């Protein structure tokens, strides 16, 4: 079994997002991290690897700075690292999907784990799109996964609560918040990871020709400022707030 995990580097959730000249100023981002759901995908990829003796390949697509998260993944146990190098971080989702699918095809993975949505795009298109290109079964909203006789057992959020599902290979799991946090690396892991080679590939190495996007960005803007709210002291103000909710806000 060969496992691929898709990891994206995004501004840390605590980072300030500033806009300059109508676009998000990436140079002003103070800290970059692995997208939160991808951490769960990585943890469960490690567990699959440990239970099945498989090879785990971490893949990212992005600018040069992104290779840091591959090294972080190696520190906790990823076996090989692939960096699809692209300079355009605001690339059309279809291009990202084609590049990731090609990288997965190249390593011959039969199970892919990724996040349900990235903390920058907030989209949730990549996992399902990659699965579709590869013809893999796609399971989203996953919180756990383990191997089964000829496939996998996953826990996912269903229409009326959690569901345990069996999934046939080849397949892709898009992770929601998992039941287990990502393990922390130990010193030995960190030392080993520093020596681990990152294979850097360009779109043409992967035989992918990027398409001209039909989506054109007009602008990024700051979210509309809410008018400052009203603040009341003490529980005795509750009746006032309730009447305001009814008469001012009309929500109850």
Ligand X SMILES: Nc1ncnc2c1ncn2[C@@H]1O[C@H](COP(=O)(O)O)[C@@H](O)[C@H]1O
Binding positions for another protein, 207-246, rule CB under 8 A: 213-224, 226, 229-239, 241-242, 244-246
Identity of the residue, 10 or 75, whose beta carbon is nearer to ligand FAD in the bound complex:
10
Give min distance, CB of 245 to another protein, in A.
Answer: 7
Instruction: Give the residue from 74, 86, 97, 60 showing the smallest Cα distance to 205.
Output: 86
Chain residues that interact with ligand X, rule: CB under 6 A: 6-8, 35, 37-38, 41, 60-62, 96, 100, 114-115, 117-118, 121, 123-127
Identity of the residue, 150 or 197, whose beta carbon is nearer to another protein in the bound complex:
150
Phi-psi region at 200: left, alpha or beta (left = phi > 0; alpha = psi -120 to 50): beta
Query: Please, which of residues 6-65 interact with ligand FAD by CB under 6 A?
Result: 13, 36
Residue 244 binding result from ligand X, another protein, ligand FAD, none, given CB thresholds of 5 to 8 Å by partner type: another protein
Per-residue CA distances from 38 to 29, 119, 138 (Å): 20, 10, 16
Residue 35 binding result from another protein, ligand FAD, ligand X, none, given CB thresholds of 5 to 8 Å by partner type: ligand X
Report how many residues bind ligand FAD under the rule CB under 6 A.
2
**Host H or E run for residue 245:** helix 238-247
Q: Distance between CA 60 and CA 71 in Å, rounded?
A: 11
Instruction: Give the residue from 134, 128, 129 showing the smallest Cα distance to 107.
Output: 134
> 32, 36, 86, 192: which one contacts another protein (CB under 8 A)?
36
Q: Distance between CA 252 and CA 114 in Å, rounded?
A: 40
Strand partners, 2: 55
Q: Which residue is nearest to ligand X (CB)?
A: 115
Identity of the residue, 88 or 248, whose beta carbon is nearer to ligand X in the bound complex:
88
162 interacts with another protein by CB under 8 A: yes
Identity of the residue, 112 or 171, whose beta carbon is nearer to another protein in the bound complex:
171
* 2-6 and 111-115 beta bridge pairing: parallel
Contact assessment for residue 12 and residue 149, using Cβ atoms and an 8 Å cutoff: no
Give me the residue label for tokens 């989209």: 123
Record the tokens describing residue 163, joined without a space. Answer: 């569901």
247 interacts with another protein by CB under 8 A: no
Give min distance, CB of 42 to ligand X, in A.
Answer: 9
* 32-34 and 9-11 beta bridge pairing: antiparallel
Record the tokens describing residue 28, joined without a space. Answer: 């002003």
Query: Please, which of residues 96-115 interact with another protein by CB under 8 A?
Result: 97
Give min distance, CB of 16 to another protein, in A.
Answer: 8
Residues that bind ligand FAD (CB under 6 A): 13, 36
């Amino acid at each position: 079994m060969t496992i691929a995990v898709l990891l994206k580097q995004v501004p840390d959730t605590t980072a300030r997002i500033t806009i300059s000249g109508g676009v998000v100023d990436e140079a002003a981002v103070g800290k970059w991290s692995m997208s939160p759901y991808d951490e769960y995908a990585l943890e469960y990829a490690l567990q699959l690897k440990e239970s099945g003796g498989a090879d785990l390949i971490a893949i990212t697509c992005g600018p040069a700075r992104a290779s840091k998260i591959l090294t972080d993944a190696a520190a906790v146990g990823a076996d090989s690292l692939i960096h699809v190098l692209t300079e355009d971080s605001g690339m059309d989702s279809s291009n990202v999907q084609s590049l990731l699918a090609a990288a997965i095809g190249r390593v011959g993975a039969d199970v892919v784990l990724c996040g349900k949505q990235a903390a920058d795009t907030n989209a949730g298109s990549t996992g399902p799109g990659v699965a579709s290109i590869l013809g893999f079964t796609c399971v989203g909203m996953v919180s756990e996964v383990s191997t089964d006789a000829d496939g996998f057992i996953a826990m996912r959020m269903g229409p009326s609560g959690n569901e345990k599902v069996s999934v046939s290979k080849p397949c892709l799991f898009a992770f929601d918040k998992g039941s287990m946090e990502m393990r922390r690396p130990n010193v030995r892991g960190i030392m080993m990871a520093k020596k681990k080679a990152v294979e850097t590939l360009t779109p043409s190495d992967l035989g992918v020709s990027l398409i001209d996007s039909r989506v054109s960005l007009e602008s990024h803007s700051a979210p509309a400022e809410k008018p400052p709210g009203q603040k009341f002291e003490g529980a005795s103000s509750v009746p006032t707030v309730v009447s305001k909710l009814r008469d001012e806000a009309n929500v109850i």
